[in-house]
Structure 1
Amino acid sequence: MDLHPNPRAVSGKDGGVLRDIAPGVRRMTLPLSLSAPDHIHCFLLDMPGGTSLLVDTGMRGSEAALGAGLEAAGSPPDRVLVTHGHIDHWGLASTLTHEVLAHPTTASSLDFTYQRDNVFGEHDEGVVEPKTVAAAFAAFRTLSVGEPPRVRAIDDGDTIGDWKVVWTPGHDPGHICLFREADGVLLCGDALLPDNTPNIQPAAGRPDALGDFFASLDRLSDLPVTLVLPSHGEPYVDHVGRAAALRAFHQRRLERIVAELRREPRTVGELSRVIFPVREGPVDDMLADMETLAHLDHLRLDAKAQRGDDHRWSEAAAA
C-alpha cells in the first residue's frame, strides 16, 4: 500500500520464464490480478538428492505463468514452501500439493481466509465494520484455487537443504525468510521489499506487530547477506540500508500519528482515513485499519498513546 521507492531496484516481469538468479536458485515471475503488487517472484531451489523445493505459488490468475515455469523446469517440485499466509503466496498451492512447508502459525492464517469473519477477533472491537471484513475476505476467497493445503510446520532455525529458516513476524505473524549461510543469499519474502513497505498485521497473541517487524529488521540486518531475493521487485545487495529505510519510514508514521492524536482523539477507522486517504475497496480499508492499529499498539506500549473506553485513541498523558 505504501510506495517507498528505492532507486537501486527496478521492477521486472518475465511471465513465468524460469531464470537462474543465483547458484541452485531459479526464479519465475508470475502476474497478480492486483494493482499493487502486480507480480510475485517464486523460486525453485535445488535440494539434496536431485529434488527441488518451490517457494510460494502465486494465486488465481497466475496459473499459466506458473505452469510455464514448472514445464521449463522439466518436472513438478518435490515440495512446496510458503513464506507466509497471504493469498498471493499460497493461492495456487493446492493445485500442486495437499501439504506445504510453513511456519506453524500459517495454518490458522490459511484457515482464516475461509472460516473467520472477524479479522481482529477481540483485539479491538469496532476497528473495521463487519461488512467490510466480510467483503474483503470474500475477495480473498476468489483468489485461491481449492481449499487451503495442510501445513507441515517448520520453525525458526530449522534447515531445509542448505537453507536456514529465519522467522520474521510483523508483516504476517508466520512470515519466514530462507538464508543460505554458505554464500549469503537471502530469500526475504515480503520482509525487505525494495520498492514498497509491507503492510503490518496485528495478530492474536502478538501485542506489538510493529515491534515484531522492527525486531525482524534488526535480525535480518545482522545476517551476512550478499544478495537479497524479494518476492516483489528485483534483487539487491544493501539489506542493512533497506532495513534502516523501512524502520525510518515507520518512525515517521509513528510521529505523524502522535501529532494527529494531539489535535483530537480518534477511533482507529477515523485515524486510518487520515493516514491512508486513497483506497480502492474493502481490502484496502481493512489493511489500512490493520496497519493503523499496529502503530497505535506500538505507541500504547511505549506510553505515547492511550485508548479510551469508547475506543477513541488520544495522546498519552504526560507522566
Structure 2
Amino acid sequence: MISAPHPAAPPSLLPPDMRVFVRGWLSSNNLLCLSEQTPALIDTGHSKHAAETVALVRSALGDQPLARIAHTHLHSDHCGGSGALQAAWPGARTWVPEASLDHVQAWDEDALSFGGTGQRCDPFTANEALVPGQTVRLGDHDWEVHAAPGHDALAVLLYEPRHGVLVAGDAMWENGVGVIFPHIDGSDGFDPFADTLTLIERIDPAVVVPGHGAPFGRAGGAIQAALGRARQRIDYFNQHPAQHALYAAKVLIKYQMMDVERMPRAAFDAWLASAPSLRLLHRQHRPDLPWDEWLALILAPLFDKGALRRDGDAVVDGG
C-alpha cells in the first residue's frame, strides 16, 4: 500500500524552491526546500511509507544530499520516515521541537506518545531543537518557530515570512481538525488549540501547508473559512467533550488498521486492550459501560460504514 503522492497545488501558491509532496494516509505531507547549500525536508511521513519518502526526495534532489530534516511534531505520521532519510543521507542534521529533543535522544516511546497510542515509529536521532521565538534555516529561507499546542502539546508551526508560507502540521487543516491528544491524557483542554488558531490568524499567512490535504491560500477566503470551521469544531468539543472521545477512539483504531491492514481477531482484541489511550477514552466517553460493551459501541459504526471489514477470523482495513 502506497501513500499516493500527487502534485499539491498551483505553483503560484509557493515559491519555486519549495515543493510539497501531498501524501495520502498514513503519511503526513512533506515540504521539500530546495537549495544549493542546505536542502531540507519538513515532516517525513509514516514508517510504512519511508522508502517512498526517500524515493521522492532522491528524485527531486538527484545527486545532491539532503542536508536538514525538521518536524512540526512527533506523531508517527509526521516523523516515521526520518530514520530512513538519515540512513540515506547520514550527514543530514535533524531538528525536533525543543521539548521533544531529550525524548528522541533517549528514544522514550512513552514520552513520544507511541506507547500510549499503541502506534509504531522507526527510531531516529535528533541533533537540534526548534525553539519557539527563534528561527531555523531550511533551504534558502529563515523560518520562524512558533509554539502550537493543541493537537499535540509540544508541536510547533514553521513560518517563512518573506513569502508568507506557513507549515502548520496538524494545527490547521482546510477541513476539520485532528484529535486533541492533550485532552485525552488530561494534561490540557481544547483552549490551547483555539489559541493556536488565533496565532495563525495573527500571523496572517499567504499560504498554509497543512499536515494533510492540499495547500491552500488566501484566495476566495480559504484560510479564513478554514479557521472558522476549525473554531466551530473546537467549540463543539468544548460543549460535548464525550464526542471528542468518541471521535478520537475511532481515529486511533482506524489509524492502526491502515498501518497493519489485516490482523487476526485475537491480535486485534489484544491491541485494543493494550493501548492506554483507548482506556482513557473509554473513561471519558462512556464510563458507565463495561469495556467490552464500549468497544462494541465504537466498532459497530466502523464495520457498518466499511471502514473495517471482517474476513473469517481476521479484521481488515476497509480502505
Match of 2:52 among 61, 65, 68: 65
Preserved CA contact (<8 Å) 1:165 1:178: yes
Asked if structure 1 preserves the Cα contact closer than 8 Å seen for 2:110 and 2:116, the reply is no
How far off is 1:272 after superposition? 3.5
- Name the structure 2 match of 1:247: 231
Contact 2:179/2:244 (CA < 8 Å) preserved in 1?
no
- Offset from partner CA, 1:119-167 (integer Å, 9 cap, x none): 6xxxxxxxxxxxxx96843xx23x42xx231251121122223321121
Q: Distance in 1 between matches of 2:159 and 2:278?
A: 28
Per the alignment, residue 286 of structure 1 pairs with 277
Q: Secondary structure at the match of 1:102?
A: strand
Pairing partner for 2:28 from 29, 40, 60: 40
Deviates more, 1:37-46 or 1:190-199: 37-46
Q: How does 1:103-182 map to 2 (within 5 A)?
A: 103-107=97-101, 110=104, 114-116=108-110, 136-137=117-118, 140-141=119-120, 143-144=121-122, 147-160=123-136, 161-182=141-162
CA displacement, residues 206-243 of structure 1 (integer Å, 9 cap, x when unaligned): 94342211111111111121111112101112323312
Q: Is 2:50–2:84's contact at 8 Å kept on the other side of the alignment?
A: no
1:96 aligned to 2:96?
no
Provide the residue aligned with 1:265 in structure 2.
none
TM-score (norm 1): 0.64
CA 1:287–1:16: 2 relative to 1, 3 Å: farther
What is aligned with 1:27?
Answer: 20
Query: How far apart are residue 108 of structure 1 and its match?
Result: 5.5
What stretches of structure 1 of length at least 5 have no aligned partner?
A: 1-11, 32-36, 120-132, 261-269, 296-319
Amino acid corresponding to residue 231 of structure 2 in structure 1: R
Partner of 1:210: 190
Map 1:186-205 onto structure 2 (within 5 A): 186-202=166-182
Greater relative CO, 1 or 2 (CA 8 Å, sep 6+): 1
Alpha-carbon distance between aligned partners in 2 of 1:165 and 1:30, rounded to the nearest angstrom:
24
**Please, what is the CA RMSD of the aligned residues?**
4.0
- Residue 40 (structure 2) pairs with residue 56 (structure 1): no
1:16/1:152 CA distance change after superposition, 3 Å: farther
Q: 1:271 to 1:39 in 2, by over 3 A?
A: closer
Counterpart residue type for residue 124 of structure 2: P
Point out the more displaced range, 192-201 or 83-92. Answer: 192-201
Paired residues, what number?
248
Distance 1:198 1:148, change over 3 A: same
**Counterpart residue type for residue 277 of structure 2:** M
More helix by share: 2
Per the normalisation by structure 2, the TM-score is 0.64
SS class of match (1:54): strand
Aligned-residue sequence identity (percent) comes to 21
